Structure 1
Amino acid sequence: MLDDTLLADPRALAALDTGGVLRSAATAGAQVRSAAQGAAEADVASLAGHRPRALVLLRRPGASATAAGVLTALLGPAAPVPVVVTDSTPSWIGPLDVVVAHTAEATDAELADSVLLAVRRGAEVVLSAPADGPVASAGAGRARLVEPRIPVPPGLDLPRALAVGLATLRALGLLDAPLDPAMDVLADALDAEAERNQPGHEPFMNPAKSLALRLADHTPLLWGTDRLAAAVAAHGATALATHAGVVANSGDVTDGAGATALVRALDRGASGADIFRDPFADPDGLTETPPVRLVLLATGEDDPGQVTLRRTGRGWPSADVLHPVDEVARGTRHAALLRAALLASRLDVASVYLGLATRTIEPA
């Protein structure tokens, strides 16, 4: 059960958070800066002028799946080279291809095999991984290795994965408007989000706490109104499972609109209590499933309600909408990317708050 009084008590939160998970979640901006510096030292920029036959994004457990989704959405269907997202290096890999991989698990044997195959075939490999272990050893001397410099608990390393991927896309010239090499604008946006979400702020002033309270005792439905937001929604579902033990549905809003049972549950929730429910059949409500809570995520310029109406033919007035145009104003350069990173960070911190308030996060 949620102890909502904890979220208004910074000292109680600090006493529970003996592992420093909240502090780690606030390092997103620092992770971006350190990864950008690491990519520069690993000479990722030397890929400039190389137009690969294919860009291969290896999707491993953890943050790499979200990073791959965000990078693919940024490139879009008009990407100048084929983009392949796969769990392991394809058999056709060769010297004309570029492979990007990220992991927080130094002993991922399947990834180690993938890296070894890619370097043996002569592919260019950008590897974001710990320096010790089979994964780094597989690419020793041949992969551009970007080591983590800021240790974080499992599930909080997305900023590093994303920064290394963005550095690679910049070097390859695949983005129309790449970030500057230091990625200061992205890091600054994440620092500002961390400030908004700090434990000392009351829930009504803290967007992550507010979101945690809205999702508590519900089944979250995280639906993106654009491709980039859908990738972030998938990350949010993973964050909730990792830090709060909450099972969430995530995806694109058009896919969600086709899930008829969920849509019926949303409509029932919007209309109020079920008048046909027999309280004597289950007086304690122990067999009831948690009510659903729809959260629409958006990173584009258009109003997400209008986008949802256009894409699905209907709207959900009761939905929570996460469209950070106040934090990243319309017309801002790199707005969609900044909003996506900001929302991913907010979902991370909200999941940590929820995990602490429900005692799901165990003491260190």
Structure 2
Amino acid sequence: MLTGAPEIDDVAALLDADVEGLLPASAMAGAQCRAMAAARDEGVLAPLEQLRPRAVVVVCGDGTCGRAVDLVLALAGPHIDVPLIKCAAVPPWIGPLDVVVVAGDDAGDPRLADAAARAGRRRAEVVVAGPVEGPLNDALVGPVVDLSPRVHVPAAYRFSHYVAALFAVLDGLRAVRFEGRHPDLSAMADELDSEAAGNHPGHELFHNAAKELAVRISDRRTVWTGDTAAGMVVAVHASRAIFAGAGVVSTATDLGEVVAAGALSAGYGGSMPADYDPIFHDAEIDGPIPREPVRVQVLTTPDREWLVRRLTASLTDVDVRTSGPAEQSTAEPQPRGSGMEDLVPLMILALRADMAGAYLRLVGSH
């Protein structure tokens, strides 16, 4: 595991260890968004333009795709005049008035193939956001809207693809009212590319947000959280993606629970004593084994950083993470709920977590 900054800043060693191409793959979030913008510009979504569907139903499994759907529902659900529904299978009421999005990385998953077949037979408008191949391809009935991945990366790094694909679908429903502006996928791609460039392995730890995050969560008990429903989705994604990619165990839970458990999570005796030696420690004489306090990672947006820092002031060890510079103003910002303006900042944090997981995987392989 990670033992210090010099190891993660050894560019040659990192590149030699990256035989699977994890770092380039994890940095392709912007390219995946741009690919969905290109699909929209090519007219792939034309069959949706005149529809006023009864519901948009997304059939997906768990994992990266499921978390991407949760983020879209949290951000767009309150702003669009059509129900957005996430399901593990096609509901029995699906019919010609509905749009069914089949999303998932396993084209051999019988649930996805069944969903595509049943939705097609019932004359619903079918959109396929996962790979169109194998049993899923064989199950398609009639024409479909093809939003399958155009940028080939491991399934673990397709979070941005599914987010962009779902927002492209919502943008394609031109006859459905949407409060505010639809996200600009091309502009979001530029922002994600800028973040990925800043996290290039050639950039040192103190100028590389992904490396810094990797160091902060390595060999520490870590809890991820967010101050909004959308932020919590990204916190869950970060926790699970880093475990799947690097085997680093952490958890994600509600911010209120994190603050309430602050005293319990501080460990015994605060920070680890410098003279602690586990070989000579006697629990009956010396007391409980000292532990480092839990390190909390709070994911938020720059305009809510002021409030989050005050909510978490009682915690022993907390990092408040945003996609921009630290807030310098001491004036209290106007509170607001989570909105579409949170999409890009949260997508940047998701990309940062993916790249941090790749760095941890490579450092651990030395």
Shared fold (TM-score greater than 0.5)?
Answer: yes
Cα deviation for residue 19 of structure 1 reads 0.8
Which whole-Å deviations, capped at 9, do the CAs of 1:65-106 have from their partners, x for residues lacking one? 121111111124454222211211112211111122322222
User: Residue in 2 aligned with 1:353?
Assistant: 359
> Using a 3 Å threshold, how does the CA distance of structure 1 residues 269 and 161 change in structure 2: closer, same or farther?
farther
User: Residue in 2 aligned with 1:54?
Assistant: 55
| One-letter code aligned to 2:297 | V
More displaced 10-residue stretch of structure 1: 192-201 or 265-274: 265-274
1:266–1:294 CA contact under 8 A, matched in 2: no
1:129–1:135 CA contact under 8 A, matched in 2: no
- Please state whether the residue corresponding to 2:156 is helix, strand or coil: coil
> Using a 3 Å threshold, how does the CA distance of structure 1 residues 37 and 265 change in structure 2: closer, same or farther?
same
Cα deviation for residue 253 of structure 1 reads 1.2
| One-letter code aligned to 1:323 | T
Cα deviation for residue 141 of structure 1 reads 3.4
| One-letter code aligned to 1:349 | M
| One-letter code aligned to 1:316 | L
Q: Distance in 1 between matches of 2:10 and 2:301?
A: 32
Any stretches of 5+ residues in structure 1 without a counterpart?
none
- Please state whether the residue corresponding to 1:141 is helix, strand or coil: coil
Q: Distance in 2 between matches of 1:137 and 1:327?
A: 51
Any stretches of 5+ residues in structure 2 without a counterpart?
284-288
Q: Distance in 2 between matches of 1:83 and 1:171?
A: 14
Which whole-Å deviations, capped at 9, do the CAs of 1:227-252 have from their partners, x for residues lacking one? 21111111101211111112221143
Q: TM-score, normalised by structure 1?
A: 0.85
More displaced 10-residue stretch of structure 1: 51-60 or 347-356: 51-60
| One-letter code aligned to 2:17 | L
Q: Distance in 2 between matches of 1:39 and 1:66?
A: 23
More displaced 10-residue stretch of structure 1: 333-342 or 25-34: 333-342
> Using a 3 Å threshold, how does the CA distance of structure 1 residues 12 and 113 change in structure 2: closer, same or farther?
same
Is structure 2 residue 298 aligned with structure 1 residue 292?
no
More displaced 10-residue stretch of structure 1: 314-323 or 162-171: 314-323
RMSD: 3.1
Identity of aligned residues (%): 33
1:58–1:89 CA contact under 8 A, matched in 2: yes
1:96–1:123 CA contact under 8 A, matched in 2: yes
- Please state whether the residue corresponding to 1:32 is helix, strand or coil: helix
User: Residue in 1 aligned with 2:199?
Assistant: 197
1:42–1:145 CA contact under 8 A, matched in 2: no
- Please state whether the residue corresponding to 2:119 is helix, strand or coil: helix
Which whole-Å deviations, capped at 9, do the CAs of 1:176-223 have from their partners, x for residues lacking one? 21034xx21010001000111000001111000000000000122110
User: Residue in 2 aligned with 1:272?
Assistant: 271
Where do 4+ consecutive residues of structure 1 move more than 6 Å?
287-290, 327-331
> Using a 3 Å threshold, how does the CA distance of structure 1 residues 356 and 76 change in structure 2: closer, same or farther?
same
> Using a 3 Å threshold, how does the CA distance of structure 1 residues 257 and 143 change in structure 2: closer, same or farther?
farther
Cα deviation for residue 353 of structure 1 reads 0.5
2:272–2:291 CA contact under 8 A, matched in 1: no
Written as runs of structure 1 = structure 2, the 5 A alignment for 1:230-245 is: 230-245=232-247
1:3–1:358 CA contact under 8 A, matched in 2: no
- Please state whether the residue corresponding to 1:80 is helix, strand or coil: coil
> Using a 3 Å threshold, how does the CA distance of structure 1 residues 60 and 266 change in structure 2: closer, same or farther?
same
| One-letter code aligned to 1:338 | V
Is structure 2 residue 183 aligned with structure 1 residue 179?
yes
User: Residue in 1 aligned with 2:167?
Assistant: 166
> Using a 3 Å threshold, how does the CA distance of structure 1 residues 291 and 271 change in structure 2: closer, same or farther?
closer
Query: Which protein is bigger by CA-based radius of gyration?
Result: 2
Written as runs of structure 1 = structure 2, the 5 A alignment for 1:1-364 is: 1-4=1-4, 5-41=6-42, 43-77=44-78, 79-139=80-140, 141-172=142-173, 173=176, 174=178, 176-180=180-184, 183-257=185-259, 260=261, 263-268=262-267, 271-273=270-272, 280-281=281-282, 291-299=293-301, 301-303=303-305, 306-307=307-308, 315-316=314-315, 318-326=317-325, 335-359=341-365
1:129–1:136 CA contact under 8 A, matched in 2: no
Q: TM-score, normalised by structure 2?
A: 0.85
